[in-house]
Structure 1
Amino acid sequence: MERTAVPVANVSLVERRSIDAIPDAERHGHLFSQFTLWLGANLQVTAVVVGALAVVLGGDVLWSLVGLFVGQICGGAVMALHGAQGPQLGLPQMISCRVQFGVYGAIVPLLLVCVMYVGFSAGGTVLAAQAVAELLHVSHAAAIVIFSLFVTLLAGLGYRTIHAMGRLSSIVGTLAFLYLFASLLNGHAFAALLANRHFTLASFLLAISLSASWQIAYGPYVADYSRYLPKTTSPAKTFLAVFCGTVIGAQVSMTFGVLAAALAGDRFSGHEVAFIVQLGATGAIAAVLYFTVALGKLTVTTLNAYGSVMSVAAILTGFGGRCEISPRTRLIFVLLSVAASSGIALAGQHDFLKAFSAFLLFLLVFFTPWSAINLVDYYWITRARYDVPALFEPDGRYGRWNVTGLAVYVAGVLVQMPFVATGFYTGPWVDALGGVDVSWIVGIVVPGLLYYAVLRRPHRRG
């Protein structure tokens, strides 16, 4: 990856900026950090579980791996297109949707983003706590508190520390997965696993949907972690760095999940953390694997906490027309966000958390149309010509409510409903598709085309 860096006026470990635009004098970093951040964020146990689902729900090894990879490409492309906006705008991801929905209208997807990422943080905290409890020999509740304290510290320090965590996680995760693959396949021929083929369209589409949805879920905050790069950074190279990191990391983790589910069956499903650590037997290696599980979840949970804080700040400042919050206020938001996710984790370690996870997956229905509208507007309508100061003015160029954008967004949500298949809600057309959820495809294509058709007129702003 190409290294792109400039001298930086502020080298403080604690981030001073929040949702305000990053001045040129404070731009810093290099593209390789985008690669390592998203590689490290995806080399983790939840991605392993998602990959395993492709087999647990009826797929074979070969076509599950192919389907997951196709989904990574599709979803990763959407996610990386959002990431490439960061250096050009110097803003957190969700601020830019004020162009499409208005300063007040943008609060609609922002509220949903807050709910989803606090919920994802809660789920990640429960998994991480299993590893922390074994590693430190403490109760599960104490492990949740300890893990949450580390999340608070890292999210409070901000951008630089988060990227440092990404570099560490990418190194540790790569070494750990090399060991895990060697241990898992010891005595098993990989070619024999691939030879067991029974292609069904439903299972193949399921694998694609699993990984594509995984990637699309990163969309609402991916630019938060590229916005400090110099404005001269190539959008194409930013796209490539983010895309390669997230696709490689997720595919490695999900491939391990597929193989583990195929070889271990019931010994893996529902006992993921224990199974992974048992591959290291006991003693020091087991401790290292517990640490690796906790570290991987720490990285992505910190991303969730930091992203949710940016969204909360965007909501509150939208009403007041402000373009920034103080470091102290940001820290308060971090504390509130982590406290909320920790409280959910403590209260819902068992059945409630499973039901809540189904609800969070249902919320993805509300982000695919947002993603489509944002990308079409940025790349094909305004062509990245955003009036950044006007993003913070309710009575300015973009207005308080953009009725057209909101109408397309609502249409994009509604058109997905017949195709949704989650534990929280299942649409009427799902059975005809073999039980596969293809709502994400509909949610990208339909509102994207509709938004372009409505707003492609020459007098469009920008």
Structure 2
Amino acid sequence: MSSKPVIERRSIDYIPESERHGRVYSQFTLWLGANLQITAIVTGALAVVLGGDVFWSLIGLLLGQLVGGAVMALHAAQGPRLGLPQMISSRVQFGVYGAAIPMALVCLMYLGFTATGTVLSGQAIGQLLSISDSAGILIFAGVIVLATLAGYRVIHWIGRVASVLGIIAFVYLFSRILMLADIGQLLDNRHFSWASFLLAVSLAASWQIAFGPYVADYSRYLPSHTSPLKTFLAAGLGSVLGAQASMILGVFAAAIAGGQFSGREVAYIVGLGGAGTTAALLYFCIAFGKVTISTLNSYGSFMCIATIISGFRGHLQISRVQRLVFVLGIVGAATLVALLGQHSFLSAFKSFILFLLTFFVPWSAVNLVDYYFITKERYDIPALADPDGRYGRWNWPGIGVYTFGVLVQMPFIDTKLYTGPMVAHLGGVDVSWLIGLVVPSVLYYCVARRRAAEAPASIIVPQTH
């Protein structure tokens, strides 16, 4: 382990067996730490802020975690087997050039998540150092650049530290909520409505599924013989437990707060814990907790941009200078969005994550059905870099199913950005993500199953020297 470089040398290229390292337990700590954080708290709070009661919001959030977490963890299990970042494997389904279509949308997602996380971290750093939120945003952005440039091993180390800090902070905050509020009374207030319940399910499912495009980036260094089931359980349980704990805290905080939560999310959460030194420590935990996930977002965005460019260049190597330029561009753009949008955060964030889900659920469905049911892990990895190879430039059946998967959701979407005509007939319930998961899965299987015979007899890995 000690012989492995701290600063990552690889980018989107295949990780040879000689460079594989780590234990599957690291997936649990990374994803637990990535989810014990303020944005997950705010996401859970939205279920109550937007009209749900405490009891049914908690049930809905848990159901969404389990469904979305299973999808996320199925992607995680691909990492050790393929030794590649997640999105580059999309070239099997979409073609070497065609994979740029979902990847461009993934980059937008990372930009948005990094920006929203930076807003909340800026609030925490501003309070901690008695500076403006904007100055806090800029300081946080600098930390993210350094962590993203360092890469895989540093990100996992940050994840372990964030897990410990997150657990301590969350246990303390939960104890404070138990002292400040009558939890039994909050849970007894039950007014079930399908619209509120399914909003809670959608918030949690979208939170988990949004990790799908990059979760394998952080399992790809594990030895290829690592058990897929253990990888699935480690990443999935870490993510589900961390996110559900955060969202439970958010639900109770929003229920206690009444109308005081929106606009001062971080200050309200810390205020539950106390003042003085305690508050300073909580602000630090919040800022550090955001380092993990914001670094994952920036690193994943770098991977996607590098993958898009490499597809048209025909090789997978990315120099360190190119890496620096990409990372500075990504974090710079996210910081600009954060500075401009910091005062209209909460409503914009809800619309953003639910609308983005429209584009990622069909991608996830196509990728998982192909990997587990069509090619059955038998990828020709060298051909992923060859537009004239096995996978071609454009795989029109895959692109067609993906496009149909996006369009078939449109009548059922309910966001501020767009509301489909079927929403009113369903009582204001948004079921688009469920349709976007099921319909493309079935359709892609029907379209692609005859191609199963074209897959190699077993996985083909690059020759390493």
TM class by smaller structure = over 0.9
Separation (CA, whole Å) in 1 of partners of 2:327 and 2:303: 9
Given the alignment of the two structures, is residue 312 of structure 1 paired with residue 305 of structure 2, yes or no?
A: yes
Checking the alignment, whether the CA contact within 8 Å between 2:194 and 2:429 is kept in structure 1 is no
Partner of 2:16: 23
Checking the alignment, whether the CA contact within 8 Å between 1:355 and 1:424 is kept in structure 2 is no
Query: Structure 1 residue 327: deviation in Å?
Result: 2.3
Separation (CA, whole Å) in 1 of partners of 2:407 and 2:386: 30
Which of 320, 326, 336 is the aligned partner of 1:343? 336
Which of 125, 128, 137 is the aligned partner of 2:121? 128
Distance 1:354 1:71, change over 3 A: closer
Alignment of 1:43-442 (within 5 A): 43-351=36-344, 355=348, 358-359=351-352, 361-442=354-435
Deviations 1:434-460 (A, max 9, x none): 222211101110001000011112654
Using structure 1 for the length normalisation, give the TM-score.
Answer: 0.96
SS of the counterpart of 2:358? Answer: helix
Checking the alignment, whether the CA contact within 8 Å between 2:362 and 2:436 is kept in structure 1 is yes
Indicate the larger mover: 452-461 or 395-404. Answer: 452-461
Query: Structure 1 residue 204: deviation in Å?
Result: 1.6
Partner of 1:4: none
Checking the alignment, whether the CA contact within 8 Å between 1:123 and 1:357 is kept in structure 2 is no
SS of the counterpart of 2:318? Answer: coil
Partner of 2:460: none
Deviations 1:75-103 (A, max 9, x none): 00000000100000000000000000000
Deviations 1:144-172 (A, max 9, x none): 11100000000000000000111011110
Distance 1:459 1:240, change over 3 A: closer
Distance 1:170 1:189, change over 3 A: same
Checking the alignment, whether the CA contact within 8 Å between 1:419 and 1:430 is kept in structure 2 is yes
Checking the alignment, whether the CA contact within 8 Å between 1:345 and 1:353 is kept in structure 2 is no
Using structure 2 for the length normalisation, give the TM-score.
Answer: 0.95
SS of the counterpart of 1:457? Answer: helix
Q: Which runs of 5+ in 1 are unaligned?
A: 1-6
Checking the alignment, whether the CA contact within 8 Å between 1:48 and 1:254 is kept in structure 2 is yes
Deviations 1:260-307 (A, max 9, x none): 111221122332101111122221100011011111111111110000
Deviations 1:116-160 (A, max 9, x none): 101211111111100101111222222111100000000000000
Which of 417, 441, 445 is the aligned partner of 1:448? 441
Q: Which amino acid aligns with 1:135?
A: L
Separation (CA, whole Å) in 2 of partners of 1:371 and 1:76: 12
Q: Which amino acid aligns with 1:28?
A: H
Separation (CA, whole Å) in 2 of partners of 1:267 and 1:201: 26
Separation (CA, whole Å) in 2 of partners of 1:111 and 1:41: 23
Query: Structure 1 residue 359: deviation in Å?
Result: 4.4
Query: Structure 1 residue 187: deviation in Å?
Result: 4.5
Q: Which amino acid aligns with 2:185?
A: A
Indicate the larger mover: 439-448 or 321-330. Answer: 321-330
Separation (CA, whole Å) in 2 of partners of 1:397 and 1:286: 57
Separation (CA, whole Å) in 1 of partners of 2:451 and 2:337: 49
Checking the alignment, whether the CA contact within 8 Å between 1:358 and 1:422 is kept in structure 2 is yes
Checking the alignment, whether the CA contact within 8 Å between 1:129 and 1:144 is kept in structure 2 is yes
Partner of 2:459: none
Separation (CA, whole Å) in 1 of partners of 2:353 and 2:56: 27
Indicate the larger mover: 20-29 or 55-64. Answer: 55-64
Root-mean-square deviation (Å):
1.5
Q: Which amino acid aligns with 1:294?
A: A
Checking the alignment, whether the CA contact within 8 Å between 2:195 and 2:430 is kept in structure 1 is no
Instruction: Provide runs of 4+ in structure 1 moved above 4 Å.
Output: 352-357
Partner of 1:3: none
Given the alignment of the two structures, is residue 33 of structure 1 paired with residue 26 of structure 2, yes or no?
A: yes
Partner of 2:458: none
Checking the alignment, whether the CA contact within 8 Å between 2:55 and 2:190 is kept in structure 1 is yes
Separation (CA, whole Å) in 1 of partners of 2:182 and 2:405: 46
Query: Structure 1 residue 68: deviation in Å?
Result: 0.6
Checking the alignment, whether the CA contact within 8 Å between 2:126 and 2:133 is kept in structure 1 is yes
Query: Structure 1 residue 53: deviation in Å?
Result: 1.5
Q: Which amino acid aligns with 1:109?
A: P
Checking the alignment, whether the CA contact within 8 Å between 1:15 and 1:327 is kept in structure 2 is no
Q: Which amino acid aligns with 2:301?
A: S
Query: Structure 1 residue 177: deviation in Å?
Result: 0.6
Separation (CA, whole Å) in 1 of partners of 2:214 and 2:364: 11
Separation (CA, whole Å) in 1 of partners of 2:347 and 2:393: 37
Checking the alignment, whether the CA contact within 8 Å between 2:125 and 2:283 is kept in structure 1 is yes
SS of the counterpart of 2:270? Answer: helix
